[in-house]
A = this chain, B = another copy of it.
Amino acid sequence: MRIDNSPARGMRDLLPADVAVRDHVLESVVAVYRRFGYQRIETPALEDINRLQSGEGADNEKLIYEVLRRGLPAEVPAGISVRELVDLGLRYDLTVPLTRFYGNNHASLPSPFRSLQIGPVWRAERPQRGRYRQFYQCDIDMIGEPSVLAEAELIEATSEALAAIGLTGTTIRLSDRRFLSALAADCGVPDDLRNAFFIALDRLDRVGWGGVRAELAELGFPSDQVASVEEKVRSLAGRPAAKLAGALTEAIPGLAPSVIEDLVTTVSCLDRLAETRELNWEFDPTLVRGMGYYTGQVFEVTHPGMSSSVAGGGRYDKLIGRSLGHDVPACGFSLGFERIVDLLARQPSRDAVAVLVEADVPLADALEVARDLRTVTGSSAAGRVVETVRRSGKFGAQLKRLEAAGFSGFVLVGVEDGAVVRGELRALGGSAEA
């Protein structure tokens, strides 16, 4: 009998060693965010299909797993649309549920509200290496804070979270959607071409100026406009905090002073943070970030070990209003959880002890030995891992199997002259006394 036991297409099973790495990342991240006052919330995996397809999700809305209404007749009536058969869908991100959650529960929440969400999302993407159709997202958001206190704190908290996982030496790239709009206006980009303009700019780090020039030319931008954009961007990229305000005023005369002030405040916080932490930042005038809902500063974190960003986010002051009926300022940061997990090595051995039980030992005695070993003081705070294992086969071979399974020591329990005898705790293989 051959049965296909694979998970559903594009999905995967997580083995104990996989879950151990993920748990290590989650615990580290949650501990850091908790210290900054972020509080975990949880929303259902299923949301109303109309909410999921309201336009906030951009291309992700095409990737929704749609759920059939319950209680349908066995046969579909002729002429009915598939859309009418569906009432729910699996969430494709944690932002759409967060805005609904805030609309539903804001009366019970503090203001500003520091939210931490960790959980799976689903997207029916074309299966490919390293991409799965169920994956975790990890978002922090501050809702109700209009000032750049939000931006500066979100960036600091996320840097600390990444450092706690072992990802130090990160670079924070910062820009502002309001700056990008002013840049576009200043260069005479028509409103209907702005998105295409931003997308071309955003690709600078992949295609270089030659590529960006070619793309903008293809979009019909005159060459002197393109040259002006290039000049402004070059004059701004990588400016230190002390020179950023001057450079911005000079390059984009139409930029509102409050935007400049916000950027200077954020980068002065990053400068201060960098005095005691191993991190870098840069003003990146071509950083756009994909989602259409951003309204202010946008940022992402890169790490030398990874080609794409490990975290990204920004301010979205107009999104909560669509659920709540009136605007509430908000800013969020999302960790690339799966990318980070892929980057980390698997955990080492479990440091477990085996209670090896001969066949003639009463089970109650064997379990008591294991119980004693679990409650030994002086072991790690979490307590020692102790498994009760029945003796089987050749002794040496069984010890080798235990060692391969991650055990670092064993205690042999047998019967001599009718009495249960418990051996000493002995180390397995090359490892020290457990």
Contact = CB atoms under 8 A, between A and B. Distances in A.
Interface of A: 1-3, 5-8, 11-16, 18-20, 22-23, 31, 34-37, 39-48, 65-68, 70, 72-76, 78-83, 85-86, 88, 90, 100-101, 103-105, 108-110, 114, 120, 122, 124, 133-134, 147-149, 152-153, 156, 265, 268-269, 271-273, 276, 322-325, 350, 352, 357, 362-368, 371, 374, 382-388, 390, 405
Contacts of A80: 75-76
Contacts of A39: 16, 19-20, 350
A73 B81 CA distance: 9
A110 B354 CA distance: 13
Contacts of A70: 65, 124
The 6 closest A-B pairs by CB, nearest first: A5-B103, A37-B387, A16-B39, A11-B44, A5-B104, A78-B78
A144 to B, nearest CB: 11
Contacts of A385: 34-37
B6 A104 contact: yes
A1 B103 CA distance: 12
A325 B67 contact: no
Contacts of A65: 46, 67-68, 70, 88
Number of copies: 2
A262 to B, nearest CB: 10
A44 to B, nearest CB: 4
A104 B7 contact: yes
A325 B1 CA distance: 5
A380 to B, nearest CB: 10
Given A13-B101, A156-B367, A388-B149, A45 B120 contact: yes
A105 B13 contact: yes
A35 B374 contact: yes
Nearest to A23: B40
A413 B73 CA distance: 66
A149 B363 CA distance: 7
Contacts of A265: 362-364
Contacts of A114: 387
Given A6-B104, A13-B101, 10 more contacts: A5-B103, A5-B324, A35-B374, A35-B383, A46-B134, A73-B82, A74-B81, A76-B80, A152-B364, A272-B365
A76 B83 CA distance: 10
Nearest to A19: B40
A384 B70 CA distance: 47
Contacts of A1: 325
Contacts of A34: 382-383, 385
A259 B371 CA distance: 26
Contacts of A48: 8
Contacts of A147: 363, 390
Contacts of A350: 39
Contacts of A148: 363
Interface centre among A12, A65, A276, A384 (most CB of B within 10 A): A65
B88 A82 contact: no
Interface centre among A74, A85, A364 (most CB of B within 10 A): A364
Given A35-B374, A272-B364, A387-B36, A76 B68 contact: no
Nearest to A82: B72
Interface centre among A85, A88, A276, A363 (most CB of B within 10 A): A363
B8 A88 contact: yes
